Structure formats: C-alpha cells, structure tokens
Structure 1
C-alpha cells in the first residue's frame, strides 16, 4: 500500500472508532501509532509514543490550561456567576426580552473566567433558567439564549480552544487570546440584537421585567466589579506586555482563589472536589494534545495534508471560494463531531492550506473557533443543546433547536463580518505592546 492509501485507511479507522464513542485522545494515539509503524516501523513509532507524552507534559506554555481551568472553578464557587447575572439583569431586565439579554451578557462575562462553553452553559443555565420561567419566557427563547451564550466560552479569552490551536500550529497564545476579544464582543452584541428582533416581532416570547432603581443598579454592578477587575487585569496585562499568558493565568487563578476565600465560599471540604474537577478537565485536554502529537506525524508521512493543499491551490479557485469550501466542511463536520476532536483532527490537513493561500493563521484561528461554536449548537450532536436539555428536562429537543436558529444565524452574520473585515480580529494583536 502507498502512504496515501495507508493514511486513508487510518482516517476511516479513526472516524469508525469515534463513532463507537472511543475517547478522542486514545483513538488518535492508537491510530497514529499503528499508522506510523506501518510506514516507518515499530521502532520509530514506539520512540514517538515514549517521547511525546513527556514533551507535552513538560511544556511550560501549557501550564496556562490548568491555571485558567482552576480560575474558572474558583470563580464558580465564589458566586461570581450570580453577581454577573444580577448586574446584567439590573441593566437589561426592563427591556422586552431583557432576561435573555442579561443571560447573554452574563455568559460573556463568565466566559472570560472559565474558558469553557459547557461550563458557561451549565452555570448560567442554572442561574438564569428559573428566572426566565418565573417571568413566563417562551421555552424556545429561554433555552436558546443559554445554549448560544455558552458558546462564547471558547471564543472570549481565556479559551481552551485557542490554546489547543496555538500548540498545534505553533502560533502565539497571547496573540490568539487578544484576537478573540473583539469578535467575542461582536457576537455578544449580535446575540442581543437577535433577541431584540425576536421579541419585537413576537412580544410573547420574552415579556419586559420591572425596572431596577439606579441605586440598586450601581450596588449590584459594584458586587460584580471584582470579576471585571480580574478580567481586565489578566487580558489587559497580556495586551500591555506586562506579563505572558501563563503569568496572567497564574495571577487570575490566585485572585479568584482570594475572592472565594474572602467571600467565605471555599471550605476545606470543597477544595478537594474543586481540584479534582480541575485535574479531570486538564487531563482530558492533555490527552487530546498527546494523541494529536502522535497522530500528526503519521498524517505528515502520508502526504495527505500537502497533497490536498496542492490540489485545492491547483484548482485556481479564488481564495475566498476555497475558504468557503473549508468552512462549509467544518459546518458539516460540526453536526456530528465534537469541537475539540474536529480541531485536532483537521488542523494538520487545513493549516498547510491556509498558509498556502496566504491567510493570516491567527485570524483563521478565530474564524475556526466561531465555526466550532456553530457546531456546538447544530443538530444532531449540538453538545451545548444536550447540556441545556439536562437543565431543562421538560423542554422538548425540537423546541431547543428551534430557539437556537436565530442565534445560529447571528453567528453566521458575525462570521461573514469577520471574513469581510479581518481587522476585527487582528486589530488588538497587531497593536499589542511587545
């Protein structure tokens, strides 16, 4: 068999194992090991297996993952999610659909602390859904805004998706974090616009709440100011060149820990479970990275990535047409493949193509994460939809997916704006003080 044929067999085996619900990291590790052995022999293959786990585990830059995960867990324990929602409700609750807009705003704020879409959806869903039910919000709008707002977790920094992308493509984590700030705020605004248009056309979807007095608005905003300060310090410090993303993660985790202790929310009995959650999440991400670093050399030996890049470039299509083909493929894959799995599986093939077409790899990282977000709320998998279903067990899946549609369209608009105006993503990283 030729290397290309072996590579195609490996890809088929990979997708079959993933369809059987095998863990992503272990699947990539196994297929990559056997495939590399078929091409180069068991000696080199076992050498990679012995080397790559140590290389990943000892990579200093990857400390950012457990530290930001820990920061998000401390933020959850300290009650920041309720503070965020309370502040957002105080400012937007008197609008028609204001509770949904407050949920989106709080999700954006919590995303800046957790870096996880699932965590943002679960946390804000438990806080916001009972309130929207109390005010008789339509279940479609209530569940749709929670699922969509949760997707901001992997776009607004710190983002685990950006860390994975940076490690796999050897791009700067700091530049990717800064590149996600403005697009994250843009998507937040587009989600709020989607809520406004829906409630304008169908007022029964989200009735207006009682206005909050200015004194109470300032009070609840002050309660949420500690979270805002942590976000400004960590992301602003990276932008100003005061510290690296790893140092920012350490400072953010320490401040979130101090806040949880100061509020009396962190008992000794809860520290062990909090640490265990952080270790599990970190282990999941590291296993995927180790699997990718064993699978990627196998793909490189098959020449499939370079051959595909040469094929698409050789078709002499416009750059945007090729980009459209790539993004359409991602949207289709996102309907049945988990986001992180799609990221690590496709980057070895797509990244050489993006470089050959002279697209900015940092800009493409943001575009790719938005497409991953769209996959998080696309049927039939839609991970965030199933997360929300676990919170709102009485709401049929068809209603949740119906509520998702306006927000999916808002994300498509955001994606088109980002393609038309790349400076939306590149402005902050290009002006970053080094």
Structure 2
C-alpha cells in the first residue's frame, strides 16, 4: 500500500476510535503506533514512542504548561473572582450596561490568569449572572456576557493553549504568548463596545443605572484587583524585555498566585490541596495528549500526506485566502463538538505545513486558530461555553436566551477576526520587538 494511503487510513482509524469514545491521546497513540509500524517496522515504532516520551518529559517548554495551569488553579479555587467582579462593578455600574461591561472585563482578567474559558464561564455564571438579574438586566445579555467573555481566556497571556500550539508547531513559546496580547485586548475592547451599543439600541436589556457607589466605596476595592494586574503585567514585561525565560516566568507567576491566594483568602479558604490536585490532573492529561500528538505527527509526516496536500492545493490554483477560509470554517465546525486541545493536535500536522507553504506567518496563524476556537465555543448548536453557562445559571435563563444573546458577541468576534486577518501586524508587532 502507498504511504499516502496508509496516512489517510490512519486518520480514518483515529476518527473511528474518537467516534466510539476513546480518549484523544489513546486514539492518537494507537494510530501512530500502527501507522509508523506499517511504514517503518514495529521496532522503530516502539523506539520512537520511547524517544518522544523521554524528549518531552525533559522539555522545559512543557513544564510551563503545568505552571500556568497551577497559576489558574490557585486563582480559581481561592474565591478571588467574586472580589474582582465586585471591584469592577463598583467602578462601572453608574452607566447603562456598566455591570455587563464589568462582567466582560472581569472574565477577561480572570480568564487571563486561569487560562480556561470553560472555568471562567462556570465561575462567573454563578457570581455575575445572579447580580445582573437582581438589578434588572435581561437574561439574554446577562448570561451571554459570561458565556462569550469567558472565551477571551485563551488569547491573553499566560495562555496554555498558545504554549501547546507553539510546542506542536515547534515555534518560540515566548513569541507566541506575547503575540496573543494585542488581539486579546482588541477582542475585549470590541466586546465592551458591543455591550454599550446593544444596550443603547435595546434599552430593555439593561437598566439606565444599575447601582451607584461613592468614591470611598470604589477606592476600597482596588486592592482586590491590583495583585492580578501586577502578575499579568510582570509576565508580559518579563517575556517582552527578556528578563526571564518562559519557564522562569511561569514559576514566578505560580508563586505569586499562591501568595495572592493565601493573602486574599487565607490558608483554609484558598483550598490549596484541591487546587494542586486539579492542576496535577490537568497537566498530566495535557502532557499525555502532547506526547501522543508528537508521535502521531511523526507518522503523518513520513506518510507524505502533508506534502501531498500542499502539492494538490498548489496545483489547484486556489487563492491562499480561499484556502485559509476553508481551514477556518473547518475549525469552527470541529470546535463546536471538540475541545480545543484535541482539535489542535489532530489537525495541525496536516494544516500547519499547508499554511506555512502558502506564505502565512505561523505565529499569526496561531492567533487566528485560537480566536476561531473562541468563536466555536459560543456558536450554535454545540457551543460548549453556552452549555457550561446554562449549568451555572440553572432556571434563571433558557438555553435559547443564552444563544440569542451570544449572537451580539459573535458579531464582535467576526469583526475581530476580520481585523486580525486584514492587519496581521496586530499579532506580530510585539513579537517583532521582543528582546530575544
């Protein structure tokens, strides 16, 4: 059998296993072992498995994933989210839609620290939505703000997804992390503009003034957000100016989040043991997936399938942006039914060589792919963030109301995506001027 046909058959086997509920890492590992064994022999296939496991186990770049997850776990379990929302709410609730803007900003800051859009949506669906409804906001805007704003977590550094993308594509981790900052800030800004525009055009969605606070009440809450802002600023500046490597930055960030949790919540309420266990489980799962993904990508590479796809696209004379549109549409469809990590590890061995051959910048493409995962997370009929938010709010809103409200934010997401495609320099500006 031709190697290319073996590669195609391998993808079919992996999809079959996934369809029957086999975990992503196991499906990729079985496919890689069988495919590499058929092409190169069973001995080399086993040897490759051992070498990949050893090489990745001693990788400093992989260590940063665990540290970023640990940062988020400390923040997630310490109750800081409610303090963050309370602070921003006191500063913004004096304008129509201000509480909703406070929610989107809280989700952006919290999501940047915890790195998980699902965790952000689950947390703020219990914290922010009841408060928004209590002060007269419509369920559409109250729930959709949480479901949509939680997706900003995957772009703003420290982003575990950007680290995974960099490792899978063998790109500089620091540059990929820094590249997500301006697109993430743009996305957050357009979300806030969307909220203010929608509540002005449809006043029934939000009261004119939800609640007012004195300056003394506002100033007293500033210490609640200062540690998170300082941690985020340190991570970005340390990477940009080259003060430390990615792993060192992750270590300092994890320690800073630990100290913040202890100071703000106290040793008992910080739930350190639970946070550590959660981080350990998440890290082990991701490392297992990455190791299997590297093994799988080696099999796909030796099958010649990526080269064949590139040659076929070149011969078909499809415009580069036409190919990009098809790829992005594929990510929207996959993102509606798969988690982002699984989507990346399955598709990148084929998609990444094609995109780079067409002349697109690999770091810019990473930002675009991660942004597409945000869009998929709130796109009907299977927007994962929407269903997580529904679980959090219970009977306070219907699934239809949440999806309807998310349409406002989908407009902002599509606008952000088009801007990032039209102006790649937004993603590439900071990496170009990094100190290393």
Give the alignment's TM-score, normalised by structure 2.
0.95
Within 2, Cα distance between the matches of 1:295 and 1:237?
A: 34
1:211 aligned residue: 212
Structure 1 window deviating more from structure 2 (339-348 vs 114-123): it is 114-123
Within 2, Cα distance between the matches of 1:425 and 1:10?
A: 35
Within 2, Cα distance between the matches of 1:2 and 1:279?
A: 42
Matches within 5 A, 1:393-432: 393-394=394-395, 395-432=397-434
Q: Confirm or deny that 1:227 pairs with 2:224.
A: no
The question of whether the paired residues in 1 share the 8 Å contact of 2:25 and 2:293 is answered with yes
The question of whether the paired residues in 2 share the 8 Å contact of 1:111 and 1:157 is answered with no
Give unmatched runs, 5+ long, in structure 2: none
Within 2, Cα distance between the matches of 1:158 and 1:269?
A: 21
1:88 Cα deviation from its structure 2 partner: 1.6
Change (3 A) 1:399 1:264: closer
2:337 aligned residue: 336
2:29 aligned residue: 29
The question of whether the paired residues in 1 share the 8 Å contact of 2:18 and 2:27 is answered with yes
3-state SS of the aligned residue for 1:224?
Answer: helix
The question of whether the paired residues in 1 share the 8 Å contact of 2:79 and 2:265 is answered with no
String of CA shifts for 1:343-378, please: whole Å, max 9, x gaps: 111111111112111111111110110011111122
Matches within 5 A, 1:9-24: 9-24=9-24
1:286 Cα deviation from its structure 2 partner: 0.7
The question of whether the paired residues in 2 share the 8 Å contact of 1:78 and 1:266 is answered with no
- List structure 1 segments (4+ residues) > 6 angstroms apart after TM superposition: none
The question of whether the paired residues in 1 share the 8 Å contact of 2:336 and 2:384 is answered with no
The question of whether the paired residues in 1 share the 8 Å contact of 2:112 and 2:154 is answered with no
Within 2, Cα distance between the matches of 1:329 and 1:283?
A: 28
Within 2, Cα distance between the matches of 1:268 and 1:118?
A: 22
1:122 aligned residue: 122
Aligned residues: 434
Within 2, Cα distance between the matches of 1:21 and 1:146?
A: 29
Change (3 A) 1:269 1:122: closer
1:131 Cα deviation from its structure 2 partner: 0.6
Give the alignment's TM-score, normalised by structure 1.
0.96
Give unmatched runs, 5+ long, in structure 1: none
1:295 aligned residue: 296
3-state SS of the aligned residue for 1:433?
Answer: coil
Q: Confirm or deny that 1:360 pairs with 2:382.
A: no
Change (3 A) 1:131 1:377: same
Within 1, Cα distance between the matches of 2:9 and 2:390?
A: 36
1:5 aligned residue: 5
The question of whether the paired residues in 2 share the 8 Å contact of 1:80 and 1:227 is answered with no
The question of whether the paired residues in 2 share the 8 Å contact of 1:85 and 1:103 is answered with yes
3-state SS of the aligned residue for 2:185?
Answer: helix
Within 2, Cα distance between the matches of 1:52 and 1:327?
A: 30
1:269 Cα deviation from its structure 2 partner: 9.3
The question of whether the paired residues in 1 share the 8 Å contact of 2:79 and 2:270 is answered with no
Within 2, Cα distance between the matches of 1:63 and 1:116?
A: 18
2:168 aligned residue: 168
1:11 Cα deviation from its structure 2 partner: 1.4
Structure 1 window deviating more from structure 2 (309-318 vs 409-418): it is 309-318
String of CA shifts for 1:140-175, please: whole Å, max 9, x gaps: 212211111111111111111101111011111111
Structure 1 window deviating more from structure 2 (92-101 vs 224-233): it is 92-101
Q: Confirm or deny that 1:132 pairs with 2:132.
A: yes
1:212 Cα deviation from its structure 2 partner: 2.4
Structure 1 window deviating more from structure 2 (329-338 vs 158-167): it is 329-338
RMSD: 1.7
1:242 aligned residue: 243
String of CA shifts for 1:316-364, please: whole Å, max 9, x gaps: 2332222222212222222223211111111111111121111111111
Change (3 A) 1:331 1:101: same
The question of whether the paired residues in 1 share the 8 Å contact of 2:78 and 2:269 is answered with no
The question of whether the paired residues in 1 share the 8 Å contact of 2:179 and 2:428 is answered with yes
3-state SS of the aligned residue for 1:95?
Answer: coil
Within 1, Cα distance between the matches of 2:378 and 2:38?
A: 38
1:79 aligned residue: 79
